[in-house]
Amino acid sequence: MLKMKKMMGYAVAAGMMFASSVYAQETVKLATTTSTDNSGLLGYLLPKFEAKTGYKVQVIATGTGKALKLGEQGDVDLVMTHAPKAEAKFVADGFGVEPRGIMENDFVVLGPKADPAKIRDSASAEEAFAKIAKSGAVFVSRGDDSGTNKKEVLIWKAADVKTDFAGYKSVGQGMGKTLLMASELQGYTLSDRGTYIAYQGKIDLVVDFDGGATLANPYQVILINSAKYPELNHAGARALADWLCSDEGQALINGFQVKGQQLFKATYKK
């Protein structure tokens, strides 16, 4: 009886070792930003990839900086991020290879329906911002040093406007709260399109300006250098990256909708 128990224990242990070795081969670890995960994009794309190829994708959703760090340390098989400067360094330092732009989403300038600063026909985001400052309209800034806040500060700088005009309100709050405040005050604000769509039913603001290179938020998928970390699942990582760039993957990205609106625009160019 005792012997049988022991035998069974061995069998289970052997089975687990076998299963885990198979599992390891089939697993692809992807480090990416919270925006792709929270928006539901990965939950929509990855099951289709897994069904097609048999790979299992483990997503580590974190900030862009941390995602690239995980890539540098060889903790993940590939990364998908949205910080062109940091990504260029990641590749130049020899950690990442074959960066490919797969999609972008964008920031939007929200404001009242009536558009009191008349920014709708602006040629660029900088011009739109300058008009807001000049018109004496309210602009609600997150003022919390977040990625979106940094983007906003860059645009003010590029527009050569000092943010000490009367209508400028730095509120030090997250995106959602900032949208609610901008709506109450019927002012302008800079938001990522995803959060705007999520809050659309709750706020009385419209997209008064969008488009242009300044407001683009491009995402790249980057493989890890196999010379640096040979033990990683490079075949699986390549399969996932290739699939995201394929006609099928690109069509799926374009087809991903939240509340009937497209959230990401596929941008891979062959």
Partner 1 sequence: MSEGWLVLLQQAFGLLFSLDPEVWSIISVSFAVSLSALLITLIPSIVLGFILAFTHFRGQWIITNLVQTLQSIPTVVIGLLAYLLLTRNGALGELHWLFTQPGMIIGQMMICAPVLVAMSQAAFTSADKRAWETCRTMGAGWFDAVWVICRELRVPLLMAVIAAFYRIVTEVGCSMMVGGNIAHVTRNIPTAIALETSKGDFAQAIALGLVLLILSLVLNFLLGTLRGGSRPRSH
Residues interacting with partner 1, by CB under 8 A? 143-145, 169-173, 181, 184-185
C-alpha separations of 174 from 22, 109, 164, 167, 187 in Å:
43, 16, 21, 19, 16
Which residue's CB is nearer to partner 1, number 153 or number 185?
Answer: 185
What are the tokens at 40?
């539901």
State the minimum distance, in angstroms, from the CB of residue 241 to partner 1: 35
Closer CB to partner 1, 101 or 143, in the complex:
143
- Strand-pair partners of 206: 111
Rounded CA-CA distance 49/47 in Å is 5
Q: Which helix (H) or strand (E) holds 240?
A: helix 234-245
Q: Which of 92, 96, 105 is nearest to 69 (CA)?
A: 96
Question: How far apart are CB 115 and partner 1 at their closest, in Å?
Answer: 19
Minimum CB distance to partner 1, residue 157 (Å):
18
Min CB(266)–partner 1 separation in Å: 35
- Closer CB to partner 1, residue 79 or residue 181? 181
Tell me what percent of the chain is helix, strand and coil, each rounded to the nearest 5.
45, 25, 30
Q: Give the nearer residue to partner 1 in terms of CB position, either 127 or 144.
A: 144
- Closer Cβ to partner 1, 31 or 138, answer by number: 138
End-to-end CA distance of the chain: 65
User: What's the min distance (Å) between Cβ of 117 and partner 1?
Assistant: 19
